[in-house]
Amino acid sequence: MVRARRRDRKTMNRNRQSGFTLLEAVLSLALGLLVVGAFLTALRPMQQWSADLGSLASREGAVWTIPSLLAGWIVPAGNDRHRQGRPGVWVANDVLALQSDLEGEGGFPDGDLDEPFEFLRLRAQAGQLQVRSGRGFYQPAAQAVAALRIQRPTEQWLRLELEAALPRPLLGPGTREGEPLILDFALPNFRPNLFAEVEE
Amino acid sequence: MNTRNSTSAQGGFVLISVLLLLFLASVLAAAIHFQVRLLWRQAVQSEARLHSQLMAENGIEYARAVLPGLDPVRLLAGADGAPCRAGESQRMPLSLAEARQIDPSQWSPGCDDGLPPGYRGSDQAPEALRGYYALRFFNNPEEPPQEDRDGVLVVRSLGIAPLRLRHPMLPTVRNSLTLAEARLRRERALALDSALTVFAESGLFVWRGEQFLVDGGESAGISWFSQRGSRIATDLADSLAGSQADRVVGSEESPSIHDARLDWLQSQQARRRLLPGFWEGFLQRLPQFNQWPQGPLALLEDPPAGELRFQGLLVLRGDVVLEEDSLIRGLVLHLGQGRLSLEDRSEIQGALWMSNLDTRTDPLRAGPVHLEMADNSRLVYDRGAVEEALAAMPPTQLQWRIIFPEMSP
């Protein structure tokens, strides 16, 4: 009895050392593949959702920064235009041009647009909002902008309609196109005055 | 022995697996945290920057509203009447470095020059989201700091959006700032200093009875200006018959009629009345500002029948009759051709300006004016009423800019 038990234990140990049979290995591989396939299939919509979410977050993140960026450039546009006889703001070929005499000697406007930030041009191209300062080249200022429409309903108001674009098409169902971002800017340098600014 | 080893090896593998999983989860959590932190910082800074700009703009709007009612001498010198010590900023409400760090609700300025009433303000947002502005006026750089002759003042408004959201896991962010500046001209060209001011070469003046009154108080009853001669003075003097002259009273002997030519030429503000663009621009823009009948700024070319009551600045054109018991308190400008008649018991408390300028051909060619005052009508100079009317005129905005930190504030 004791001998038989010892033999059984030896056989078991031998079996454990020799690994699985071919059938066991094939079955386990097949089952494993099935499980992995099922897992990947289940994961696929999640991957799409994740990619789409990243795409939408990227667009929203870009759109979020645009108002404060544009407000700093557009609101002071036309500073000192009365004395200089400059238009200050104009639109040509879907490009918004902004002239603002902001600085000069002594810290006050000097009549020249000699600083790069005193003459800006904005446009939407190649999925970007681009800005050109002074005589430089257009540079990207914000991503995810498909189109820029500019309106001047009155002298004092400027309306920008930005069409936000996704960095890549969505993988999942639905388009989830964002609403156009409409920004209305009051231009303080164009507010009507009761008396002429320059009376000579 | 072998079984114990095998169990032990399995336990070690599980431990390593769990540790590995925990490590991966930690890395994932850290990555998400840093991404959220970055997005949070961007979002907060962007929002705070926009908020600070809105507050700076609000400050300028407030300054525009209060400026017409302020005395520039007292405003520039501050409550103590003396200029601030050298080195203290007379242009900035407070330094940018200080503004980034402070709690704006607790701020108090060291220098009182240029601080209007309500120089520090805030919006009505909940405390955690509240923004602030701080204001300071100063004289335009073309003039000495304490002496305003041209009526032009500069105001700076520092918008401050403090960040009160603090968390040990989130980055600390300083106050967001925007410094806006406006150059404003107080409109004092129509600050009249007599009951009746006439800018004309000649005029027809009809005084009925002996109970009318033109009273300049401590100023002249009537003052006149003419570019080409003094015929208007003769017309005025000749129109008063007998004791009627005693009904034009003021600082000078009756009839109190004053030649204002020298005064106008010596005053920078009054001299603007002689600039061709002054009247032309005023008449062109006036319809946009017309607030008839509520006032306080109104243009009236065809007055309604019946008594007229008005307070503020009233511009009249054409033939105008102020019917019985009409009362106007403030400043009345009768511009262009036509006759102005004050019926019985009608009264102007403040000042009356009359001119007939041909702004189309020769901007300063002054045609004749025509005034009729009935018995018991009154024209009484009231400096307070004139000042109230002038306060209704918005200051002229000459410039408006944002001063960025890289510029020299």
Q: How far, in whole angstroms, is CA B124 from its chain's centroid?
A: 23
Binary contact (A76, B46; C-beta < 8 A): no
Q: Which residue, chain included where needed, has tokens 């008839």?
A: B292
| Distance set, CA A137 to CA A121, A125, A126, A128, A140 (Å) | 10, 13, 15, 14, 10
Binary contact (B399, A109; C-beta < 8 A): yes
Binary contact (B402, A75; C-beta < 8 A): yes
pLDDT at A2: 47
| Cα within 13 Å of Cα(B2), Cβ side | 7
| Residues 6 or more apart in contact with residue B36 via CB below 8 angstroms | none
CA-based nearest distance A102→chain B, Å: 6
Q: Which residues does residue B348 pair with via DSSP β-bridges, in sequence order?
A: B328, B379
DSSP run (H or E) holding B157? strand B152-161
Binary contact (B408, A103; C-beta < 8 A): yes
pLDDT in tens, chain B (409 residues): 455 566 666 777 788 888 988 998 898 888 878 877 777 777 788 888 899 999 999 999 999 999 998 999 999 988 888 888 766 567 888 888 889 888 888 888 888 899 999 999 999 888 778 899 999 999 998 898 888 888 999 999 999 998 655 566 655 668 899 999 999 999 999 999 999 999 998 999 999 999 999 999 999 999 999 887 789 999 999 999 989 999 999 998 899 999 999 999 999 889 988 887 888 889 999 999 998 888 899 999 887 888 899 999 999 999 999 999 999 999 999 998 899 999 999 999 999 999 988 766 665 678 899 999 999 999 999 999 999 999 888 999 999 999 988 786 6
Query: Is B222:B371 a contact under the CB 8 Å cutoff?
Result: no
- Residue B33, Cβ neighbours under 10 Å: how many? 12
Burial of B381 (0-12, 13-18, 19+ CB in 10 A): buried
Torsions phi, psi for B180 (to 5 deg): -110, 150
| Residues 6 or more apart in contact with residue A174 via CB below 8 angstroms | none
| Residues 6 or more apart in contact with residue A150 via CB below 8 angstroms | A91, A94, A96, A158, A159, A160, A161
CA-based nearest distance A46→chain B, Å: 17
Binary contact (B402, A102; C-beta < 8 A): yes
Q: Which residue, chain included where needed, has tokens 């991404």?
A: B35
The type of residue at B239 is S
The type of residue at B391 is A
pLDDT at A47: 80
Nearest residue on chain B to A186, judged by CA atoms? Answer: B57
Q: Which residue, chain included where needed, has tokens 């990243």?
A: A54
Which residues from B are below 8 Å from A141, CB to CB?
none
| Residues 6 or more apart in contact with residue B228 via CB below 8 angstroms | B201
CA-based nearest distance A118→chain B, Å: 11
Angle at the Cα of B288 (from B286 to B291), degrees rounded to 5?
Answer: 85
Phi-psi domain of B113 (left: phi exceeds 0; alpha: psi -120 through 50; beta: other): beta
Query: Is B135:B115 a contact under the CB 8 Å cutoff?
Result: yes
| Residues 6 or more apart in contact with residue A34 via CB below 8 angstroms | none
CA-based nearest distance A197→chain B, Å: 6
B182 at A interface, C-beta within 8 A:
yes
**What is d(CA B341, CA B122) in angstroms, rounded to the nearest whole number?**
49
Which residues from B are below 8 Å from A114, CB to CB?
none
Interface test with B, best of A6, A74, A194, A200 (most B CBs within 10 A): A194
Which residues from A are below 8 Å from B409, CB to CB?
107
Binary contact (A68, B272; C-beta < 8 A): no
Binary contact (B400, A67; C-beta < 8 A): no
Binary contact (A194, B187; C-beta < 8 A): yes
**What is d(CA A158, CA A91) in angstroms, rounded to the nearest whole number?**
10
Binary contact (B401, A67; C-beta < 8 A): no
pLDDT at A174: 66
- Residue B91, Cβ neighbours under 10 Å: how many? 18
| Residues 6 or more apart in contact with residue B328 via CB below 8 angstroms | B308, B309, B310, B311, B314, B322, B347, B348, B349, B350
B156 at A interface, C-beta within 8 A:
no
Count of residues making up chain B: 409
SS3 B253: coil
Q: Which residue, chain included where needed, has tokens 């009627």?
A: B244
Radius of gyration of chain B from its Cα atoms, rounded to whole angstroms: 33
**What is d(CA B145, CA B113) in angstroms, rounded to the nearest whole number?**
10
Query: Is B139:B165 a contact under the CB 8 Å cutoff?
Result: no
| Distance set, CA B248 to CA B29, B235, B256, B264 (Å) | 90, 14, 6, 22
CA-based nearest distance B48→chain A, Å: 9
Of A68, A75, A195, the CB nearest to B187: A195
Strand arrangement, sheet containing B152-161: B120-122, B132-139, B152-161, B176-185, B396-403
Binary contact (B396, A194; C-beta < 8 A): yes
Query: Is B354:B371 a contact under the CB 8 Å cutoff?
Result: yes
Nearest residue on chain A to B409, judged by CA atoms? Answer: A107
A·B CB contacts under 8 A: 105
List chain A residues with pLDDT less than 50: 1-2
Nearest residue on chain B to A81, judged by CA atoms? Answer: B399
Strand arrangement, sheet containing A145-154: A145-154, A157-164, A181-186
Query: Is B84:B90 a contact under the CB 8 Å cutoff?
Result: yes
3-state secondary structure chain A: CHHHHHHHHHHHHHHHHHCCCHHHHHHHHHHHHHHHHHHHHHHHHHHHHHHHHHHHHHHHHHHHHHHHHHHHHHCCCCCCHHHHCCCCEEEECCEEEEECCCCCHHHCCCCCCCCHHHEEEEEEECCEEEEEECCCCCEEEEECEEEEEEEEEECCEEEEEEEECCCCCCCCCCCCCCCCEEEEEECHHHCCCCCCCCCC
B407 at A interface, C-beta within 8 A:
yes
Q: What value of ipTM does the predicted structure carry?
A: 0.84
